[in-house]
């Protein structure tokens, strides 16, 4: 029998605090109550607001505003390369026409190759919406090939690769509930997952700004653009362009990097990319809201104080919480204590914290067999630092048990943590030798959100036949280390138990994977 991990899910949005940018919802007033071609034309107009033409040479200087790692980042002040993990110094490492290996120089990449539209470095050929800094050699490997998802790579550098393409499937209410491209380019370039949505929205914004000024379908451009801006469901994009770009737009939502870059573009080029400010606009033209009437009131802009980085922005922004309101925060909304033989005990933990408190936090537990080690937390100057609460389950009879911990303080919204466990009359038989089982202490499976700089998980896998590897899908979000000092864990180490430490690099979501032999587990980890 295969043991399936249980899930403790903490739903929450990472709310960012954004100071007043040079834009608010009134910037997009003319988009309200429009749909279809009328909405497309209105977006075209607003994408041109304030635009001032930069020369191709101006881009080097502009990148110092649009594409530097921010203060506080490990690479602060360096050029943010979107094709590789190379680190460049702004003016020192710009393309000089020489160099023969990766990470020597960066250049000005037309993510929409200029051979597709004009072979020019003016107009659209110098538009920051789609011109980004990239490693010169990796850019050269891409050439004029279309973006796509690689089935078999002939070249790989970090997480970017070139090779044969695979088909792409998306959901699209106009083109069909499940729309699959019927054909794909023969050779495609696939950038790092972290930037796929950035490139998709760059394509949307560039195309809708320039529309009839250029024919964008020369060469591989025909896979993306059809130069027809009134056709419902397409609006300038070809079938493959819709399928690929909408897939990437959904998989890689707007990030803080992208928000900062959009503000930098306005500071240098004068205009803004509407699909970064209101990411849901793409759904109104090419996605699940195609044909519906757009309203800024029903969407959340990435420039708004309550925008959740990583969301699609297709619902109105949450109302801001008064910063003076007493607030209780819990790390879990449910705790799983597992199966326990009658007469034995087991424990699980979660944390409680509070701010702006005017009274103690009290904790009350209900449910047969459950108890907690603390029932009162006293604030200091209105604050209770994150405090670990230990839940003990001691069954007195066999059977499934549920309980609840109610956490309250005067003036604060109560929080509840649900409890679950099973009392048994005998130890659970071990899994067959061919079937491993993975446990994460206070069970974390499927998805989890952490608010600190590090998170510690406890891994135990029984009956392994091969080594397993733990890894982060995006080391730019978090890195993984283990108490064994290596990320490949032997069957003996796994059976004895291994501590895994996740270290936050920046806010965002990435996958923690555990793979090897018959083990293939993926956990969506979000760091706030």
pLDDT of residue 203: 98
Residues of the chain with pLDDT under 50: 1-21, 177, 428-433, 442-443
Residue 103, Ramachandran bin (φ over 0: left; ψ between -120 and 50: alpha; else beta): left
Q: Distance (Å, rounded) from C-alpha 146 to C-alpha 131?
A: 15
pLDDT of residue 22: 64
Q: Distance (Å, rounded) from C-alpha 146 to C-alpha 148?
A: 6
pLDDT of residue 429: 47
pLDDT of residue 167: 77
Q: Distance (Å, rounded) from C-alpha 156 to C-alpha 79?
A: 21
pLDDT of residue 180: 57
Residue 276, Ramachandran bin (φ over 0: left; ψ between -120 and 50: alpha; else beta): alpha
pLDDT of residue 171: 53
What are the DSSP calls for 375-444, one per residue? SEE--BTTBEEEEEEEEEE--SSSEEEEEEEEEE-TTSPPEEEEEEEEEESSPPPPPPTT--EEEESS--
pLDDT of residue 306: 86
pLDDT of residue 483: 86
DSSP code for 34: B
SS (H, E, C) 199-215: HHHHHHHHHHHHHHHCC
pLDDT of residue 439: 59
Burial class (CB in 10 A: 0-12, 13-18, 19+), 324: exposed
pLDDT of residue 254: 95
pLDDT of residue 111: 98
């Amino acid at each position: 029998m295969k043991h399936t991990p249980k899930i403790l899910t903490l739903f929450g949005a990472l709310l960012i605090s954004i100071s007043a940018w040079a834009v608010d919802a009134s910037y997009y007033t003319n988009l309200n109550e429009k749909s279809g071609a009328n909405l497309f034309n209105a977006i075209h107009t607003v994408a041109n607001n304030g635009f001032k033409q930069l020369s191709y040479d101006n881009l080097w200087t502009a990148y110092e505003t649009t594409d530097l790692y921010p203060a506080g980042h490990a690479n602060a002040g360096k050029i943010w390369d979107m094709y590789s993990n190379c680190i460049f110094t702004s003016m020192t490492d710009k393309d000089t026409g020489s160099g023969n290996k990766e990470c020597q120089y960066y250049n000005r990449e037309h993510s929409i190759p200029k051979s597709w539209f004009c072979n020019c470095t003016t107009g659209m050929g110098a538009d920051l919406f789609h011109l980004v800094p990239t490693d010169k050699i990796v850019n050269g490997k891409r050439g004029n090939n279309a973006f796509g998802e690689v089935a078999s790579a002939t070249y790989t550098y970090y997480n970017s690769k070139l090779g044969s393409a695979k088909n792409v499937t998306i959901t699209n209410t106009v083109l069909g509930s499940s729309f699959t491209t019927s054909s794909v380019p023969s050779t495609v370039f696939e950038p790092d997952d972290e930037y796929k949505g950035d490139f998709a929205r760059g394509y949307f914004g560039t195309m809708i700004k320039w529309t009839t000024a250029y024919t964008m379908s020369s060469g591989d451009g025909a896979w993306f653009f059809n130069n027809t801006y009134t056709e419902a469901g397409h609006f300038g994009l070809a079938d493959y362009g819709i399928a690929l770009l909408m897939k990437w737009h959904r998989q890689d939502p707007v990030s803080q990097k992208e928000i900062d870059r959009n503000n930098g573009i306005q500071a240098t080029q004068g205009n803004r990319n509407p699909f970064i400010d209101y990411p849901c606009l793409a759904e109104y033209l090419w996605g699940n809201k195609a044909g519906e009437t757009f309203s800024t009131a029903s969407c959340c802009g990435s420039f708004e104080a309550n925008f959740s980085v990583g969301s699609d922005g297709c619902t109105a922004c949450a109302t801001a919480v008064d910063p003076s309101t007493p607030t209780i925060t819990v790390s879990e909304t449910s705790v799983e204590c597992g199966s326990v033989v009658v007469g034995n005990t087991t424990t699980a933990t979660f944390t409680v914290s509070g701010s702006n408190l005017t009274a103690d936090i009290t904790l009350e537990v209900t449910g047969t067999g459950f108890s907690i080690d603390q029932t009162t937390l006293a604030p200091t100057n209105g604050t209770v630092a994150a405090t670990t609460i230990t839940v003990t389950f001691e069954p007195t009879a066999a059977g499934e048990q549920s309980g609840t911990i109610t956490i309250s303080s005067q003036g604060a919204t109560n929080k509840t943590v649900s409890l679950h466990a099973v009392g048994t009359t005998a130890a659970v038989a071990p899994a067959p030798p061919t079937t491993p089982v993975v446990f994460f202490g206070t069970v974390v499976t499927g998805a989890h959100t952490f608010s600190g700089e590090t998170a510690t998980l406890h891994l135990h896998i029984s009956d392994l036949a091969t080594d397993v590897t733990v890894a982060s899908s995006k080391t730019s979000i978090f890195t993984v280390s283990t108490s064994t000092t290596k990320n490949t864990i032997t069957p003996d180490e796994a059976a004895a138990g291994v501590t895994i430490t996740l270290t936050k690099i920046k806010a965002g979501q990435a996958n923690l994977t555990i793979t090897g032999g018959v083990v293939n587990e993926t956990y969506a980890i979000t760091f706030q």
